[in-house]
A and B are shown apart, each in its own frame.
Chain A
Amino acid sequence: MSYFFQIVVSGIVVGSIYALAALGLVLVYKSSRVANFAHGQIIAAGAFITFFLTVNVGVPILFSFLASMIITFFLAMSVERIFLRRLIGEPIISVIMVTIGLASIIDGLIFITPFGTENFSFPHFLPQTPLSLGGVSISWTQLVGVIITFILIGAFSWFFKKSTIGISMRAVSDDQFGAMSVGISVPRVFGLAWATAGLSAAAAGCIIGNITGLNFETLQAFGIIVFPVVILGGLDSILGAVVAGIIMGLIQQFASGYLDGNFGLNGTGDVMPYIILLIILLFKPHGLFGVHEIERV
């Protein structure tokens, strides 16, 4: 039975981290209807900034973590200001192409530094002995990762529901011209959406980097790995990202735990989430929490 519960715990841990990594994609999509293909690079950048501040500058890791979120907040905001602001009103595909170009530029910049081609790991800052209960084990890194994920997701949910800026962002997401007509600054909202996405990406990068070690290819791959989570959740729903993340994490772990190695199957942990995604999308084409927009003409 502990095997079953270990899989459940692992699934929730993995799913929560997926949800956090997906959050940045959701935030950008929610305000601008753009899929950001440079998200993985921002995740990696956040992890490397934290490492640099901690190891090379000697800042305590908690402050490095917060500083990296602030830095990527302004970094992502600058990216939006320099590259994407002038594309407001242009076809979405143009903006998406710019994000692909942006991914290449950030790749290039990271490869100029040692972080592009060398491997590192964060210094230990949490107890090394895992928490165990009834044969179920969870490391402190995983536990702290899950807690940070839920704090950030809770904060963002509150922000979108209660704060004036959050409501402005939702308004822009629904109808840019309508929002503009009531005095909402669309460029400001876009800048803020990118900035908050950068912030959440940095948090995700630090958590993933703590688990896998700091390898650029591994970290930036998570920008793509979490796309199914975003699609399943409904592209613009924060709650959707959380639920879909945990569903994906659980499916992955259960497939790996019960199907792989049996019935001649292998690698189902990677494939099964996509199969389930396709099946769910057959019945709910807008994802679990996506909005079905009806356009009246």
Chain B
Amino acid sequence: MKIKNILWLNAVLVLIVMFAVTAPVNAGGKVYKLGLSLAITGPTSDAGNPYAKGVEDYFKFANETKILGEDTIDCTIRDDQYKTDITKRNFEEYLDEGIVMYLNYSTGSTLGLKRDFEEEKIAVLPASYHAGNIDNSNYIFLPVASYSEQLVALSEYVVKNHKGGKAKVAMFIHPSAFGRGPVDDAKKAVAAGLNMEIIEVVEHGKDLDNSAMLKRLMSKDVQYVLCHTVQSPVATMLKDSSRLGLTAETYGEKGKLTFLGVHYTGGNDLIALAPDACEGYFWTCSFNLTSEKGEGTTKQLALAKLYGRDDKAANSHNYAAGIMVAQVTTETIKRVKAKGKKVTKENCYNELNAMNGANAYHPYTTMGPVTYSKTDRAGVDMLQIYSVQGGVFKKIGTPIQSEYMKKIK
């Protein structure tokens, strides 16, 4: 009899403990797990660091303002130091935690883990806009137009605004798959009729002096240099060009070089590295910049202020990019919930694919709407051309979209 009483007492205690542990979770709604692995330190962390802050801040904001009602998002953010092996380990641990979507970072790790994403059937939004990411992949969604699309759009801009015969261009690219990928697409665009001549493709190193390269390009009558790399080598090249008196003062100035670049070549980091020499540099980006006041950038700055971010992070386009992927992810979960479905990997994936037409999503951080489908894996197709004027990036014209990219796809 005594033993029976003790057993009853134990059972009641176990129930009380279970209730005590689970009660707060039930009371606060469901928690949806997400994971982000990126370079907060190590190579490219100048981009990764503000990107991580953008993601973190927006999810905090979404939870605090109850965008998902009583439900919340729990996104684990881990530093992988730009090392694919660490990214893979992070991703596997996130899977064990039950993530419903995954946010990745670099081109190398996105390509390296592509098969894993397919096997796990999980939607992935990387910070790399490499077109090769979405080749033979059903689960990778580029947040904005691919580097290829940006480079081709920039080439079209060159041709459209070039005076005289055929525009002669050189490509200044990163010595990696990230750098080389878009060059082939630019060549295809030329083959498809884009009226320009690619005189040379330069894969840069850690150069302290680009005089030889710049003078060589001049001797071949190159007029435009299209860059697809990171900011540091572009900054050194721009300084050398400025010193040699080779930089065009106006767009397409004859006998001078006009420099233009794709996403990761520009932004405030370029201005910080080459404050004077980058004047007149043209740059494509799908994000709103805080140097151009607007509703979106006001919200971005307010978010940064709310969570105590410094000016550098608040005004970084990488911070905007981080906010944007968090916005898309939150919106996807919200739509799954609105349809009365369970928030799972499969339902999130299907919801992303349905994000088009009337269901297109308009984040405040981008130049245009995010649209995805089974055949369209690039979110924002619109690109804005910016140019450095008086030490800040200013909009040039209205957003554009590549025409030749559709022809060569």
Contacts and interface: CB of A to CB of B under 8 A. Distances in A.
Interface of A: 3, 6-7, 9-10, 13-14, 17, 107-108, 111, 114, 116-121, 124, 128, 130, 137, 139, 142, 208, 211-215, 217-218, 221-222, 225, 253-254, 256-257, 260-261, 266-267, 269-270
Nearest to B219: A3
B177 to A, nearest CB: 15
Given A17-B208, A114-B312, A260-B200, 14 more contacts: A7-B211, A117-B48, A124-B276, A137-B243, A208-B208, A211-B239, A212-B232, A213-B232, A215-B46, A225-B206, A253-B209, A257-B216, A266-B202, A269-B205
B231 interface: yes
Interface stretch (B37-45, B108-116, B280-288): B37-45
B212 A257 contact: yes
A211 B236 contact: yes
A14 B208 contact: yes
Contact of A261 (B48, B49, B220, B236): B220
Nearest to B246: A137
A269 B207 contact: yes
Task: Give the interface size bracket for B toward A.
Answer: 35 or more
8 contacts: A114-B312, A116-B41, A121-B275, A139-B239, A212-B232, A213-B272, A218-B206, A261-B200
B215 A3 contact: yes
A142 B215 CA distance: 18
Most buried by A among B44, B212, B216: B212
Contacts of A261: 200, 202, 216-217, 220
A254 B209 CA distance: 12
A111 B209 contact: no
Interface in B217-238: 217, 219-220, 231-232, 235-236
B273 A256 contact: no
A217 B232 contact: yes
A233 B49 CA distance: 39
A118 B312 contact: yes
Contact of B274 (A17, A213, A260): A213
B201 interface: yes
B331 interface: no
Contacts of A139: 239, 243
B376 interface: no
Nearest to A257: B212
B31 interface: no
Nearest to A225: B206
A225 B205 CA distance: 10
Given A215-B232, A269-B205, A6 B40 contact: no
A128 B231 CA distance: 21
A218 B207 CA distance: 10
Contacts of A10: 209, 211-212
Q: Which of B175, B211, B219 has the most CB of A within 10 A?
A: B211
Given A121-B273, A221-B206, A212 B200 contact: no
Contacts of B272: 118-121, 213
B243 A130 contact: yes
Contacts of B216: 256-257, 260-261
Contacts of A215: 46, 231-232, 273
B205 A121 contact: no
A13 B209 CA distance: 8
Contacts of B200: 260-261, 266
Given A119-B232, A261-B220, A212 B208 contact: yes
A117 B206 contact: no
B213 interface: yes
B273 A111 contact: no
Nearest to A256: B212
Contact of A111 (B41, B207, B208, B213): B41
B45 A117 contact: yes
A40 to B, nearest CB: 11
B49 A117 contact: yes
A117 B41 contact: yes
B202 A117 contact: no
B208 A137 contact: no
A6 B215 contact: yes
A244 to B, nearest CB: 16
Contacts of A221: 206
B297 to A, nearest CB: 20
